[in-house]
């Protein structure tokens, strides 16, 4: 076997179908592109189909099939309906639960609605989408689930209590799913990004003092980009990660080791 054949066998995703949530921008967009480059067909999920048009056009250039599905992740009934529809229309081999929301405010000023909205998108919607898709994976004896956690799966953060709680939960849920499904042919893992230049971190980027303070704390000397994360996701989706189960892979420029 040539080295090229080995690489394709270990890291190639041809013949697989991947569903990526929050695919319009940021880490979701970069991940969708990376998985398409590895050969996976794609189902792109976002708030509205129109917003996914640019990504759909981009990934279709790699010769894979792609379709977009619009859904409001705060509406759990709609999320469940989308999951059923996707499963009925064909198998999903790879699920990347990337979509997430954040609310920045002191905990004492958060309302019940603020808290509930974040937990609904970041945790409840993950359950609603994953369970029907994982059931199909288990029936076929193969599947990859990658959840997007955070540095705040390990730390408390400042003024982001609901986000922190949801991301701690994602790390725990990843391990719980892996414990139940690993022996059934399903790999469940998570990626925990550090400080990444995305829409969710825009307020921090705009704060010159805080941004500089964060940058000084990162051993790599810079904030990450979505492209710094998608390779880790692609690895966890590949055959090369076949014996990786219940792991939360930190991709943070060295922040956690500081």
The DSSP bridge partners found for residue 42 are 18, 66
Catalytic residues: 163
| For helices 26-37 and 226-237, angle between their N-to-C axes, nearest 10 degrees | 50
In angstroms, the Cα distances linking 117 to 21, 57, 130, 162 are 17, 31, 19, 9
| Residue that is written with structure tokens 């003024």 in the block | 159
In angstroms, the Cα distances linking 108 to 51, 115, 234 are 35, 11, 39
DSSP string over 106-171: -GGG--HHHHHHHHIIIIIHHHHHHHHHHHHHHHHT-EEEEEE--GGGTS--SS-HHHHHHHHHHH
């Amino acid at each position: 076997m040539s080295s090229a054949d080995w690489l394709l066998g270990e890291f190639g995703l041809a013949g697989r179908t991947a569903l990526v949530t929050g695919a319009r921008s940021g880490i979701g967009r970069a991940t969708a592109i990376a998985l398409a480059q590895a050969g996976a067909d794609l189902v792109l999920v976002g708030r509205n189909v129109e917003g996914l048009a640019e990504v759909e056009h981009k990934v279709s250039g790699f010769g894979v099939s792609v379709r977009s599905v619009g859904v409001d992740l705060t509406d759990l009934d709609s999320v469940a309906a989308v999951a059923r529809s996707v499963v009925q229309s064909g198998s999903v081999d790879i699920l990347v639960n990337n979509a997430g929301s954040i609310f920045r405010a002191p905990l004492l000023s958060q309302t019940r609605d603020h808290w509930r909205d974040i937990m609904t998108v970041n945790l409840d919607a993950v359950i609603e989408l994953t369970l029907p898709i994982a059931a199909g994976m288990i029936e076929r004896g193969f599947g990859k689930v990658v959840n997007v956690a955070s540095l705040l799966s390990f730390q408390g953060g400042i003024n982001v209590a609901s986000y922190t709680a949801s991301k701690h939960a994602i790390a725990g849920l990843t391990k719980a799913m892996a414990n139940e499904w690993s022996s059934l042919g399903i790999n469940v893992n998570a990626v925990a990004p550090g400080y990444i230049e995305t829409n969710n971190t825009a307020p921090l980027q705009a704060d010159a003092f805080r941004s500089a303070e964060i940058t000084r704390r990162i051993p790599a000397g810079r904030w990450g980009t979505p492209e710094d994360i998608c390779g880790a996701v692609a690895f966890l989706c590949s055959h090369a990660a076949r014996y990786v189960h219940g792991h939360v892979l930190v991709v943070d420029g060295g922040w956690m080791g500081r």
